[in-house]
């Protein structure tokens, strides 16, 4: 019973403290709703990119007007990026980007996050499916009048190093 009361109190406090309230020298706090909205933003990303929705603007509108993905900045450039990303593999059934393990942390001015990405080439016409590549995204999120948006997003592609030498045989 005591544990339940503490959980209820903690949830009540997190809902009552508005986003942006911070202790001296501490990053902004996030409400439970902030976490959910940011997770939804992250979930919309691969769908918007893979389907090229609204001629790329579905993707671009996930960012602030001056938002960046790598060196691409601004709504028009981001929409063009989405239109030109694997255009031969697009449409409502296209699934290539899969994001997992979303981590979100409060930060001054908003939040930051990271999640894994794997890009799968779904086999068609008898061809086998294959993992194209993987890596992770590093994000900066800000809350706008339209909701949470990417301020910046950076993709770090995984790199495999040389295989370590096997251990010497035990004697």
pLDDT band of 51, cuts 50, 70, 90: confident
Where exactly are the structural domains of the chain? 27-157
Q: Which pTM value belongs to this model?
A: 0.73
Contact 28, 38 (CB under 8 A): no
pLDDT band of 26, cuts 50, 70, 90: very low
The H-or-E segment that residue 9 falls in is helix 2-16
Backbone angles phi, psi at 80, to 5 degrees: -65, -40
Which class in CATH covers the domain with range 27-157?
A: alpha beta
Per residue in 122-162, pLDDT tens? 777 777 877 878 999 999 999 999 999 999 999 999 887 67
Average pLDDT over residues 89-114: 83
Question: Looking at residue 87, what is its pLDDT?
Answer: 60
Question: Looking at residue 16, what is its pLDDT?
Answer: 40
Mean pLDDT, all residues of the chain: 81
């Amino acid at each position: 019973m005591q544990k339940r009361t503490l959980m209820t109190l903690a949830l009540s406090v997190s809902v009552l403290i508005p986003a942006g309230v911070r202790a001296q020298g501490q990053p902004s706090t996030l409400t439970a709703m902030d976490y959910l909205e940011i997770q939804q933003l992250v979930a919309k990303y691969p769908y918007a990119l893979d389907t090229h929705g609204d001629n790329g603007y579905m993707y671009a509108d996930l960012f602030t007007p001056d938002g960046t993905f790598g060196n691409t900045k601004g709504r028009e450039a981001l929409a063009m990026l989405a239109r030109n990303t694997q255009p031969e593999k697009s449409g409502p059934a296209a699934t290539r980007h899969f994001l997992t393990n979303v981590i979100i942390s409060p930060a001054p001015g908003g939040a930051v996050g990271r999640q894994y990405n794997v890009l799968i080439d779904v086999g068609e016409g008898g061809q086998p499916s294959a993992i194209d590549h993987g890596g992770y995204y590093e994000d900066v999120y800000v809350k706008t009048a339209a909701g949470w948006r990417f301020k910046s997003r950076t993709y770090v592609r995984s790199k495999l190093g040389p295989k370590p030498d096997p251990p010497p045989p035990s004697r």
